[in-house]
Structure 1
């Protein structure tokens, strides 16, 4: 199971605001594992203001 820490690690260095596609691409380039990428691909397709918003979307 993916944890909030896994998500934050994959998104370290991310510039916000960011779209879902930008977030998934950043996580891929940042070495996010399959579970992290799968979780990020399920979030709503919108702009995110920061990492806490992404985590909220993943763990809602």
Structure 2
């Protein structure tokens, strides 16, 4: 499954408070109007706490 560009995802994470867990990130992105593809990508993130937006981008880059 192709993932979205991590930079595209960051616009839906604006205002996110870190550290944040995967479920919080998905919920926040949905509240900002993230499309289906972005939400699906975020739902593939590992179940962990992300300390910064860069951590989220790095994890997205590792999704196959």
CA contact (8 A) 2:7 2:57 kept: no
Secondary structure, aligned partner of 1:10: coil
Higher relative contact order (CA 8 A, sep 6+): 2
- Segments of 5+ residues of structure 1 without an aligned counterpart are none
The equivalences for 1:1-60 within 5 A come to: 2-60=4-62
**Structure 2 runs not aligned, ≥5 long:** none
Alignment: residue pair count: 60
Give the aligned CA root-mean-square deviation in angstroms. Answer: 0.9
Please report the TM-score for the alignment, with normalisation by the length of structure 2: 0.88
Deviation at residue 4 of structure 1 after TM alignment? 1.8
Structure with greater proportional helix content: 1
Q: 4+ residue stretches of structure 1 with deviation over 4 A?
A: none
